[in-house]
Amino acid sequence: MSKEKVDVTGISVPLGEDYPEIRESVRRICKDFPGEYWRDLDARSAYPDAFVKALTDAGYLSVLIPEVYGGAGLPLRAASVILEEIHASGCSAGACHAQMYTMGTLLRHGSAEQKQRFLPDIASGKLRLQAFGVTEPTTGSDTTQIKTRADLVRDPGGDYYVVNGQKVWTSRALYSDLMMLLVRTTAADQVARKTEGLSVLLVDLRDARGNGLEIRPIKAMVNHNTTEIFMDNMLVPAANRIGEEGKGFRYILDGMNAERIIAASEAIGDTRWFIRKASNYATERIVFGRPIGQNQGIQFPIARAYTELAAAEMMVRKATALFAAGQPCGEDANIAKLLSTEAAWHAAEACLQTHGGFGFASEYDVERKWREVRVMQVAPISTNLILAYVAEHVLGLPRSY
Ligand SMILES: Cc1cc2nc3c(=O)[nH]c(=O)nc-3n(C[C@H](O)[C@H](O)[C@H](O)COP(=O)(O)OP(=O)(O)OC[C@H]3O[C@@H](n4cnc5c(N)ncnc54)[C@H](O)[C@@H]3O)c2cc1C
């Protein structure tokens, strides 16, 4: 029923441990960052500098950057595998995944000059592209209604934008050098369609902070280093606009399928972690003279989460294969995101329940990971918005918003 015409001729889906060397190497790096490391950061709401540095030094945050700019030039599946293994190891890519989430916008729509200016330094780790400013406090999921304005000023010394507005939930802004920012460059009442008149600016946070940009941390349920940002006559060179003025919404949408797929891969990794953790504990914990895992009330929720993992993983692999083949994959990427985050949540619940009271003790890491996967039902896209996509674009039901 989907309106998307997908040609599946010749597309195959790899099974098993694809990219085994990458998986093994990521697992080795993650071993140096055990639960104590993440617990300490969580308690202090601190940023995992050492972890991000280790991944950067090993080249794993720049796998999507073409070799000519110093990256590995690998396909999206490699990024998925890296993020999956990070999460399956009990670590979190939340501090650095934006580099992969947002990279596509610069790769696909940036000019040759911009790529040359930014990508080699991002690949080497000299520059961090970790912040992505889309969500605003008063508009939420209704992205086309954002209020942040950027007005172009012509200047012989170089044209620039004057930006005014506010973003919320801009994660990692305090730890990033660059921020991909969605702004309105033509007022909503002066465009034919509400998706027009939006533009993407690459903001150099090092120049902007204290010069029209204020960043305030938000204390949240998870240690996501998230912030709200206030822009008051912040200047951004026009040379930092990605692509054409007014086409920014399409550029952001273009990146959504890749974002859904790699977010889903993180959830697959988390699900694997919870199932392993729950199974181990259920086997070791003896109550009433037998392992608690002998009780079906304990083993069935874990087994059910495993079946959900298996199904979700197939959808992630299918969506990735379609993406790699250049085929439309909106339906599959959205379904993959929904199924994998639900599998992760059900596995988290099963794991917490299996641990009884100890599930609430920080030292078991279960409650921290449980909080982290709960976020995935809301960010980077909420479950309802995925269901709305499937209802409208796949099933042809009337648009609900
Ligand atoms: C930890 C964290 C990190 C984040 N990081 C970033 C980031 O780096 N950059 C960034 O730009 N944003 C980020 N976000 C924001 C995130 O993308 C938004 O929270 C999310 O898109 C939902 O927007 P909202 O919170 O305004 O909810 P709202 O849009 O206000 O929605 C509230 C609820 O209503 C539901 N809803 C709204 N409209 C409809 C509808 N038409 N039909 C059915 N249900 C509907 C939603 O599904 C949701 O459950 C982050 C959020 C969190 C929590």
- The tens digit of pLDDT for each residue in 258-274 reads 999 999 999 999 999 99
Does the CA dihedral 361-362-363-368 come out positive or negative? positive
**Rounded-to-integer distance, Cα 243 and Cα 201, Å:** 9
* pLDDT for residue 4: 73
- Ligand 1 neighbour 378 (Cβ under 6 A): yes
**Rounded-to-integer distance, Cα 208 and Cα 167, Å:** 15
Check: pTM over 0.75? Answer yes or no.
Answer: yes
For residue 141, report the distance from its CA to the centre of ligand 1, in Å: 5
Q: Which atom of ligand 1 is nearest to the CA of 401?
A: 41
CATH T-level topology, domain 130-246: Butyryl-CoA Dehydrogenase, subunit A; domain 2 (2.40.110)
* pLDDT for residue 170: 97
Q: How many CB atoms lie within 10 A of CB 183?
A: 27
Q: Which atom of ligand 1 is nearest to the CA of 139?
A: 26
- Ligand 1 neighbour 132 (Cβ under 6 A): yes
Taking the mean position of all CA atoms in its chain, how far away is CA 304? 26
* pLDDT for residue 99: 86
Which tokens in the block code for residue 251?
């550029």
- The tens digit of pLDDT for each residue in 36-67 reads 999 999 999 999 999 999 999 999 999 999 99
Nearest protein CA to atom 13 of ligand 1, as residue: 169
- Ligand 1 neighbour 102 (Cβ under 6 A): no
* pLDDT for residue 231: 98
**Rounded-to-integer distance, Cα 64 and Cα 73, Å:** 5
Coil, helix or strand at residue 152: strand
**Rounded-to-integer distance, Cα 143 and Cα 133, Å:** 11
Q: CATH 1.20.140.10 occupies which residues in the chain? A: 253-394
> Which residue ranges of the chain lie beneath pLDDT 70?
1-3
* pLDDT for residue 280: 98
Rg of the chain over CA atoms, in angstroms? Answer: 22
314 CB-near residues (< 8 Å, 6+ apart): 13
Q: How far is CA 295 from CA 281, 305, 361, in A?
A: 13, 16, 23
* pLDDT for residue 8: 87
Which tokens in the block code for residue 324?
């790699």
Place of tokens 């009780």: 295
Coil, helix or strand at residue 55: helix
For residue 136, report the distance from its CA to the centre of ligand 1, in Å: 9
68 CB-near residues (< 8 Å, 6+ apart): none
Angle at 90 between CA 89 and CA 94, to 5 degrees: 105
**Rounded-to-integer distance, Cα 16 and Cα 83, Å:** 16
* pLDDT for residue 1: 59
**Rounded-to-integer distance, Cα 151 and Cα 135, Å:** 20
Q: Are 31 and 23 in contact (CB under 8 A)?
A: no
Q: Which atom of ligand 1 is nearest to the CA of 226?
A: 3
Q: Are 194 and 248 in contact (CB under 8 A)?
A: no
Q: Which of 45, 96, 128, 141 to mutate to test the pocket of ligand 1 (most atoms within 8 A of CB)?
A: 141
**Rounded-to-integer distance, Cα 17 and Cα 25, Å:** 13
For residue 355, report the distance from its CA to the centre of ligand 1, in Å: 31
Domain 253-394, classified CATH 1.20.140.10, yes or no: yes
**Rounded-to-integer distance, Cα 281 and Cα 339, Å:** 25
Q: CATH 2.40.110.10 occupies which residues in the chain? A: 130-246
CA-wise closest residue to 149 among 118, 185, 176, 174: 185
Selected from 1.10.540.10, 1.10.1660.10, 1.10.420.10, 2.60.40.10, the CATH number assigned to the domain covering 20-128 reads 1.10.540.10
- Ligand 1 neighbour 226 (Cβ under 6 A): yes
Q: CATH 1.10.540.10 occupies which residues in the chain? A: 20-128
- Ligand 1 neighbour 384 (Cβ under 6 A): yes
H-type alpha helices, 32-111: 35-44, 49-57, 76-88, 98-101, 103-109
Report the half-sphere exposure of 13 (CA within 13 A, side-chain side): 12
